[in-house]
Amino acid sequence: MNTEAFQKAYDNTMRHEGGFSNDPDDPGGMTYMGISREYHPSWSGWYLVDEHIVNISRVPDVVHENFLLEKVQTFYASEFWDRLQCDFVAGLSVDLAVELFDTAVNLGRHRAIEIMQDALNLLNRNGALYIDLVVDGQMGMKTRGALAAYFKRRHAEDYAQAEVSLIRVMNHLQAAHYIRLMRKYPWKEKYAGWFART
């Protein structure tokens, strides 16, 4: 694993996800450091969180216990970094790997990959750089190939600008997703902080 790139992604995401919450309106329910009990009930750290919930005033204390933070990092490395194939992505662009990782933690791996695939399709010059991808939320061979082709063919022009453009389009698509949610469910405007991630 590219530990330096993973650490950068993890630290970035923890700026948004650090801490404990139990918002009844959040579909993820009880959440610790961005790990949803609803979606990840078998995470090995829940029993430690539960020990601190007995006395609710101690819940914030658990955030700072190193043995639990190690479990959090291990979870994110295996469930997000590895499953998104972020080592491959970081080999092309560390900043893109950081963006993909954070989007997946917030929206799920499937939707994060869909956003990246959609962005790649929008930036392929009508198929001149590579053929359109099926937006299926899978990090398969064709998606990896399109990513590599995107950076290879844009390299001669301006690699840094290509990187910025892809991340920017992904952020616009992510913001559009939040806007659609808030228009459909106005009560979700309480989560306007989502836009800080775009």
Cα distance between residue 119 and residue 113, in whole Å: 10
The residue-averaged pLDDT of 129-135 equals 96
What tens digit of pLDDT does each residue of 56-90 get? 555 666 666 778 889 999 999 999 999 999 999 99
Residue 31's DSSP bridge partners are 21, 36
E strand segments, the chain: 20-22, 30-32, 35-36
Q: What was the pLDDT predicted at 102?
A: 98
Cα distance between residue 33 and residue 46, in whole Å: 11
Q: What was the pLDDT predicted at 109?
A: 98
User: Which pTM value belongs to this model?
Assistant: 0.91
Q: What was the pLDDT predicted at 40?
A: 95
Cα distance between residue 142 and residue 130, in whole Å: 10
Measuring CA to CA, which residue among 24, 5, 138, 173 is closest to residue 76? 5
Work out the mean pLDDT of the chain and round it to a whole number.
Answer: 91
Q: Is the CA virtual torsion 12, 16, 188, 52 positive or negative? A: positive
The residue-averaged pLDDT of 108-133 equals 96
What tens digit of pLDDT does each residue of 2-16 get? 999 999 999 999 999
CB atoms within 10 A of CB 175: 14
Cα distance between residue 164 and residue 166, in whole Å: 6
What tens digit of pLDDT does each residue of 153-192 get? 766 567 788 999 999 999 999 999 999 999 999 999 988 9
Could you give the percent of the chain with pLDDT greater than 70? 92
